[in-house]
Structure 1
Amino acid sequence: MRLVFAGTPAVAVPTLRALTEHHEVAGVVTRPDAHLGRKRTLTPSPVAQAAEELGLPVIKTAKLDDEATANIAGLDAELGVIVAYGGIVREPLLSAPAHGWINLHFSLLPAWRGAAPVQRALIAGDAELGVSVFQLVPALDAGDVFAKQAVAVPSDVTADVALDLLAADGARVTAEVVDAIAAGTARSRPQSGEPTLAPKLMLEDGALDWAQPVASVFARYRGVTPEPGAHTTIAGDRLKILVAAPATDAPPLAPGEILGTRTAVLIGAGDGALEVTRVQPAGKGPMNAADWWRGLRAENTVRAGS
């Protein structure tokens, strides 16, 4: 089958690679190069880099406007496949391929429709994550589903690791759906159940509330790491929490109370403590939490969240 693929981040690359094994990818649509790192180096997206390696034509566009629509329609693809492109496919582009577009979404739809499904699921403490491949329609992530697959994700991994695991399984599921569409055997079903929404995370979503149970604090840490980043305030300054886990055998600590150890920092929550091993103070680089705490020379009255 002749395909057009749209995607931008690294989690879209496994699907692109999988599709090239059995189908013709006529072109790849991705976001323009971005300035990254401290030196703000202009860098192609991970999908653009993979497409170049695979020798595939690339269309770089920040939005699917009339010009981009004409260029993509000119590829004469039979099916469009989209994975985290970062833009909305509207008519007439939505109907340009004979089979329309399918979307790999990192949730078990209709759960967590939107831009941050894995992150929101982790914050909510969901025990099960998964992927769905569905027919793209104008409404947000609302199309009929061709395939869903639950994916086992360790209970302590952060959103970036969870996404990598889902991307691998999602690539396989998407390739199977494309094979079925090409063979004429694909069947889709309407979504059933109450939808939940997963809007894009903002900086404030990373703020940890130490009055919450430690399981809830850790769940939010998992969901917002690495972006936008888990953080708290110490004497009015933001402190980014880079590496943390629920503490075991911690002494009783009030919510937000900090106890330094030789190798870590314990911060009290509603019913336990979070063990923090790596942090990043405002205006500084990442460092060991124990070193940060010793350097702060704080009074015992200093609390997280204050």
Structure 2
Amino acid sequence: MRVVFMGTPEFAVPSLRALASAHDVVLVVTRPDAVRARGKRLEPSPVKIAAEELGLEVLETSRMTPEVQDKLSAAAADVFCVAAYGCILPDTMLSMAPLGCVNVHASLLPRWRGAAPIQRAILAGDSETGVSIMRIGKGVDTGPYCAQASCSIEDKTTTELTDELAHLGADLLVKTLPALADGTLEWVEQDEAYVTHAAKVEKSEMHLDPSVTAEQNLRIVRAATDAAPARLSVGNRKLRACTACALPEEASVSVDAGFARFVSGHVYVGCADRPLELLRVKPDGKREMDASAWAAGFRELKQGVLWARD
């Protein structure tokens, strides 16, 4: 099967590799090189790097101009496969390939349509999530789906869950394409009564808060990314919470809500119900480190200091 693949971030790479091993990927479309890290240098997308390793032709674009659409049409693909490309496709492209456009979406639709389904599932405290193979339509993630696969969320971070879903989606996509080609797929229209929207996570949402439970704060830590880190202020020292854990209700450590303490080599911040232990932190302007190493030079923390939203 001739495939045009469209994707940009690391999430899309397993789908590209799986397709390349099973089909003829005639063109890879990805967004142009961009500043993707703190170094302020232009860097290629993960999909571009993988495509070049595989010896595949790459087209870099962030807009579906007439010239780009001409190149896509000339590829004479049987199907367009999309995974987190980062651009809404015009209507003219949806029927350009005989088998249409299918997308690997990182949620169990209709739950979590939109830009940040993985983070939203973690923040909401969902017990499971998954991937959906859907047909791209005119709205954002509104098309019918033909296959889904689920996994548990448990205590996974955004990074861990993204990697798991990326491979789950790649496997499901490759398994689905033969049935798409022979017309035996059953498409399920999304039930609008169960739709939830996964808007982009803003930095303002990712502040730890002593007035909420330890579990709610822990979800913020697990959902955090470099673009939207989990932050707090301890004794007026601003830092990022990189990893943490909630103490069991029967734990003997007692820290009042709104206070932080360094006890026996552990850093605890009191939440509405019980303490949260900080395991790894990144103070502003410094490298990431064990919370105990950060606290060792913070003499007042042994007696207890106030903590708050950054």
Give the AA of the match of 2:15. T
The RMSD of aligned alpha carbons is: 1.8
- Contact kept in structure 1, 2:128 and 2:150, CA below 8 Å: yes
- Contact kept in structure 1, 2:261 and 2:305, CA below 8 Å: no
Q: Deviations over 1:184-218 (max 9, x none)?
A: 22221101242000011111121112211111111
1:236 shift after superposition: 4.5
- Contact kept in structure 1, 2:127 and 2:152, CA below 8 Å: no
**Secondary structure class of the residue paired with 1:25:** strand
Q: What does 1:16-27 correspond to in 2, within 5 Å?
A: 16-27=16-27
Match of 1:172 in 2: 171
Which of 277, 301, 305 pairs up with 1:302? 305
**Secondary structure class of the residue paired with 1:166:** helix
Match of 1:62 in 2: 62
Q: Distance in 2 between matches of 1:278 and 1:99?
A: 48
Q: Deviations over 1:158-193 (max 9, x none)?
A: 011011111111111111121211222222110124
Q: Distance in 1 between matches of 2:184 and 2:253?
A: 60
**Secondary structure class of the residue paired with 1:232:** strand
Match of 2:189 in 1: 190
Match of 1:267 in 2: 269
Larger deviation: 288-297 or 72-81?
Answer: 288-297
Match of 2:89 in 1: 89
1:237 shift after superposition: 4.6
1:74 shift after superposition: 2.2
Match of 2:254 in 1: 252
Q: Distance in 2 between matches of 1:67 and 1:147?
A: 33
Q: Which runs of 5+ in 2 are unaligned?
A: none
Would you say how many aligned residue pairs link Structure 1 and Structure 2? 305
Give TM-score scaled by structure 2 length: 0.92
- Contact kept in structure 1, 2:6 and 2:85, CA below 8 Å: yes
Larger deviation: 160-169 or 286-295?
Answer: 286-295
Larger deviation: 32-41 or 88-97?
Answer: 32-41
1:39 shift after superposition: 3.6
Q: Distance in 2 between matches of 1:298 and 1:63?
A: 54
Match of 2:220 in 1: 220
**Secondary structure class of the residue paired with 1:285:** coil
Q: Distance in 2 between matches of 1:191 and 1:39?
A: 42
- Contact kept in structure 2, 1:255 and 1:268, CA below 8 Å: yes
Give TM-score scaled by structure 1 length: 0.94
1:131 shift after superposition: 0.6
Give the AA of the match of 2:60. K
Match of 1:125 in 2: 125
Give the AA of the match of 1:62. S
Q: Distance in 2 between matches of 1:255 and 1:295?
A: 23
1:65 shift after superposition: 2.8
1:250 shift after superposition: 4.6
Which of 280, 295, 298 pairs up with 1:293? 295
- Contact kept in structure 2, 1:264 and 1:288, CA below 8 Å: no
**Secondary structure class of the residue paired with 2:148:** strand
Q: Deviations over 1:115-144 (max 9, x none)?
A: 100100100000011110110001110101
Q: 1:85/1:227 Cα in 2 relative to 1: closer, same or farther (>3 Å)?
A: same
- Contact kept in structure 1, 2:236 and 2:307, CA below 8 Å: no
Q: Deviations over 1:59-109 (max 9, x none)?
A: 111222333222222212121111011111112122211222111111000
Larger deviation: 97-106 or 254-263?
Answer: 254-263
Q: 1:263/1:62 Cα in 2 relative to 1: closer, same or farther (>3 Å)?
A: farther
- Contact kept in structure 1, 2:36 and 2:42, CA below 8 Å: yes
Q: What does 1:142-161 correspond to in 2, within 5 Å?
A: 142-153=142-153, 155-161=154-160
Larger deviation: 49-58 or 37-46?
Answer: 37-46
Q: Distance in 2 between matches of 1:207 and 1:250?
A: 27
Give the AA of the match of 2:177. V
Q: Distance in 1 between matches of 2:299 and 2:240?
A: 18
Give the AA of the match of 1:69. Q
1:36 shift after superposition: 4.1
